[in-house]
Structure 1
Amino acid sequence: MFKVLLHNDDYTSMDFVVEILTGIFHKSHAQAEQIMLQIHEKGKAICGVYSFEIAQTKAQQVKQRAKQNEFPLLATIEEDS
């Protein structure tokens, strides 16, 4: 299984991160706000744990949506230990 992480940056709005978390990762608004604050305070946070293929797809969806909205939001994948 693989973790998908979102990373903090100085340009992506908090509202956009919440939108990504609710839309791509299917988090509730409250969960999304909590994860967004973790990203903001700790520099990154886990958005979910998935099979490799699904993790790859979700990271790619984040990249595409961020690019469409001109944000540098970074999603990475790490093997879950």
Structure 2
Amino acid sequence: MIENSRLVWNQGDESEPGRHDQLSLAPEKPALKRPAQFRVILLNDDYTPMDFVVEVLTTFFGMNEEKATQVMLLVHTQGKAVCGVYSRDIAETKAAQVNHYSSECDHPLLCEIERAD
């Protein structure tokens, strides 16, 4: 237990009788790992209009019009493109939001996620 602890000096409080200065072990804070990162990937289809794809990228990924157009063209020419890299929960939420919105608007546009690291 000592390997994950550090020494702490506790000074006695004069207002509390019987409390004295002492040296004690306090547990060390565990080393924190960064959460796994996931890519949100937009997939091409032959039916979704390009302006709708740009709208999705600006709305759900906060891209400006120019960046959204660049990503939309990558999706169109390469079949897919990365919209962003996030922790798992955020990536899953963004992909689900895009898929739901596209479905509501009667477009087959889909997003998926894949582990980035």
| C-alpha distance in 2 between matches for 1:16 and 1:50 | 23
Is 1:37 aligned with 2:68? no
Q: Which runs of 5+ in 2 are unaligned?
A: 1-36
Give unpaired runs (5+ residues) of structure 1: none
Q: Which residue is 2:97 aligned to?
A: 61
AA of the residue aligned to 1:68: E
**Number of aligned pairs?**
81
Residue aligning to 2:107 = 71
1:74 shift after superposition? 1.0
Q: Structure 1 or 2: larger strand share?
A: 2
Normalised by the length of structure 2, the TM-score is 0.68
CA distance in structure 2 between the partners assigned to 1:71 and 1:38 by the alignment: 19
**Which structure's residues are more often helix, by fraction?**
1
- The runs of 4+ residues in structure 1 deviating greater than 3 Å are none
Identity of aligned residues (%): 52
TM-aligned CA deviation for residue 11 of structure 1:
0.6
**Corresponding residue to 1:6 among 42, 55, 70:** 42
Over aligned residue pairs, what C-alpha RMSD do you find?
0.5
Q: Structure 1-normalised TM-score?
A: 0.98
1:18-43 CA-to-partner distances (Å, cap 9, x unmatched) read 00000000001000000000000000
